[in-house]
Structures are given as structure tokens and as C-alpha cells.
Amino acid sequence: MDLLESVILGLAGLFGGVLAGLFGVGGGTVFVPALVYGAGWGIGEAVAASLVVIVFSALSGTLRSVRSEVPVNWRAAALFSLAVAPSSLIGVAASNFFSETLTQLVFAGFLLALAYPTARSGKRYREGIGGPAGSHLAVALLGGVAAGALAGLIGIGGAVLTVPLLIFGFGLSPKTAISTSLVVTLSVGVVGAVGYVAAGFDRLSGLPLLIIGSMIGAWPGVRLREHLPETVLQRIFAAYMVVIAVLMIVDAANGS
């Protein structure tokens, strides 16, 4: 591994960690492209490595969130993780059979469909399971199964789907949903990484730089989140979803 590759991996880890803390995402949307386009890894190796790194970035963000002004809703985190995390193994199993282009287009469609509700939904819900969104709990859990499968398939933590589902199904505020999503992302990363390791992933070079960068970056991300108005955070996250969706569509079109 040369110096340029080391710098790319370190910066990718740092930026992915900031995203993890700020938006509750695991950073896979940064890690996978960095490994494929920056380090020259194959897509399968990049997906597996991303899930390993996500464990550490989400853990760092979770630990920081415990001390923040917007703590984790542990009840929602536990219940939702039971639906999302095991489902990541579906994606791991399907990774050898699914078309990468089709997967990207389907995932981009999910992001675009959820971006507008995410930008608008925060103040309509109040804290706690069983509030106005209580009747949507079953739908959210079903959506969590799909989110987990996609996370395992393309190597992301799934927060771009789990944050809106936590708001929609559990009645959490956007900031609480982001804190809670870090715990869900952590569980997805653990289960998905174990699945890929069991399937034979053993490439460890470069992972320490990604892991260290992601853990360092998660703390300022959480700190920044505490000072952003909730409406601004919602809209930034929705814009982030649209950008990632467009990038996926362009990449899929170029690869088809």
C-alpha cells in the first residue's frame, strides 16, 4: 500500500466518521467508493470491508451520543435492530447473485422516495413508541427488513432508510432518530461483517486507517449535530439522500 492510497483511506475514514456522527449513517457511502475508485479494490471486497469499518464508526458515534443532549431511544433501537440486523444476512447471501446495476437503481429509488417525507416529517411526530406513528410500527419494521437486506448487499449501514423509518414508525424526533440509528447501524455492521467473514472475506490491508479515521471523525460529527436546528438537519439529510441517489443512478448508467 503506497502513500497516496494510505492518505485516501485515512481521509475516507475521517469523512465517513463525520457523516456517521452528523446523520447517523455508517459511512459506507464513502468507504465503498473510496476502496473501489481510490484503492482499486473489487466491489465485493469493498462491501465486506465497509461493513467491518461501519462497526467502529457507529460504535464511536454511539458512545458520543450517549453523552450528548439527544440520547439514544434504547427501546426503539433494540426493537428495530431485531428486524434490521438479521436481515443484513439476506443481502450477504444475495450478493453473489444480484446484478449490481439493478441493486443501485432500486436503492436510489428508495432514497428518492424517502427524501421528501424526511425533509417534512420531523415536527409531525412526538417522542415515544405508540404515539401518532404507532399505527405505522409494523410497516416500519417491514421496511427495516428491506433496509437490512440492502445494507448487507451494498455495504452501507442503512441509516438513509432507518432514520426515516424510525421517525415514521416509532414517532422519534429527527435528532433522536439519528442517535438511535447509530445503534441500529452498529448491529447491522456486526451481523453483516460476520456474514462476509464467514463467507471468506480476509483482506485486512487498509482497514486500520479507515477504522481510525472513522472513529475520530464520528465525535465532531455528533458535536456538530447538537448545534444544528432540527429543521436544518432534516433538510440537509434529505439533500444528502438525493445526492447519493443521483450518484448511484449515474454510476449504474455508466456501468450498464
pLDDT in tens, 54-79: 888 788 888 877 777 778 899 999 99
The single residue listed with the C-alpha cell 465517513 is 16
Q: Select from 82, 78, 58 the least CA-distant residue to 157.
A: 58
Non-local CB neighbours of 233 within 8 Å, separated by 6+ positions: 23, 174, 175, 178, 225
Q: Are 210 and 49 in contact (CB under 8 A)?
A: yes
> How far apart, in whole angstroms, are the C-alpha atoms of residue 7 and residue 23?
24
Low-confidence ranges of the chain (pLDDT < 70): 1, 24-27, 29, 118, 121-135, 157-158, 204, 256
- State residue 132's pLDDT score: 47
Q: Select from 10, 76, 24 the least CA-distant residue to 186.
A: 24
Query: Domain limits of the chain?
Result: 3-255
